[in-house]
Amino acid sequence: MFKNDRFKYLIDYKKHVKIAKKRLDALGDLDGKKILDLGTGAGYLPYLAKKRGAIVMGVNPEWEEFYDYITEDLGVKTLKHTIAPLEALPFTASDKWDIITAYQCCFHKLGDGRKWGVLDWQMFLNRIFNKHLVLRGLLVIQINHPEVLERALIDTTIRHKWSGNTVRIG
C-alpha cells in the first residue's frame, strides 16, 4: 500500500478506468498499434490499451516508486526513465511508435524544479518526431501546468517540419 496517503486517489479504479477509456476512444482503432505512454503514472492507459490490441509501453521516472504498487497490480511493465530535453529516450533507431502519449505531464521533475521553456520543448518534440514516431504517427500531449502551456509550445516553424505527423496539445 502507499506509504503516503496523498496518493490514495490513485486506487480509485473506476474513476481512472473511465478517464483512460475516454482517452483511448479519442485515439481511434488501436489494434496492432504500438503505443508509448510517457509519464504513465499508475498505468491505467497501457493496461486498457493492451486489452484493445495495442502493443504498449509506459514510461515512469526511476525515482517515483509509489506508482509501482498499481502498475505491478495491473500487470503493466514500465520502463524507468527520466525524460529530459537533451536526453534521448533509451530506444534504438528501429524502435518507432505509431502513437506517443503524455497525459497530465510536463516532465518538470528533473531535480532542479525548473519548468521547461520553449527551447526545451523544441528539442524534445523534434527528437520525438525525428526518431521515435513513425511517419503519420500521432503525438498527444496534455500539459498539467497551465503556466507551462502558456510559456512554451508550438511555433509555426516546427509545426511545418512535422507535416505528415499529427500533434494534439492541450
Ligand X SMILES: C[S@@+](CC[C@H](N)C(=O)[O-])C[C@H]1O[C@@H](n2cnc3c(N)ncnc32)[C@H](O)[C@@H]1O
Q: Which residues are near ligand X by CB under 6 A?
A: 39-41, 60-61, 64, 67, 82-83, 103-105, 107, 109-110, 144
Q: 4 vs 9, 79, 166, CA distance in Å?
A: 11, 23, 38
Q: How far is the CB of 169 from ligand X (least distance, A)?
A: 15
Contacts 24+ apart (CB under 8 A), 158-165: 158/122, 158/125, 158/126, 161/126, 161/129, 162/125, 162/129, 164/135, 164/136, 165/129, 165/133, 165/135, 165/136, 165/137, 165/138, 165/139
75: left (phi over 0), alpha (psi -120 to 50) or beta: left
Q: How far is the CB of 82 from ligand X (least distance, A)?
A: 4
Q: How far is the CB of 76 from ligand X (least distance, A)?
A: 12
Nearest CB to ligand X, comparing residues 18 and 159: 18
Q: How far is the CB of 93 from ligand X (least distance, A)?
A: 22
Instruction: Compute the distance between CA of residue 152 and CA of residue 12 in angstroms, rounded to an integer.
Output: 32
Nearest CB to ligand X, comparing residues 117 and 164: 117
- Kindly tell me the number of DSSP H helices and DSSP E strands found in the chain: 6, 6
Nearest CB to ligand X, comparing residues 101 and 162: 101
**CB 129 within 8 Å of CB 161:** yes
Nearest CB to ligand X, comparing residues 13 and 135: 13
Nearest CB to ligand X, comparing residues 67 and 162: 67
Q: How far is the CB of 136 from ligand X (least distance, A)?
A: 24
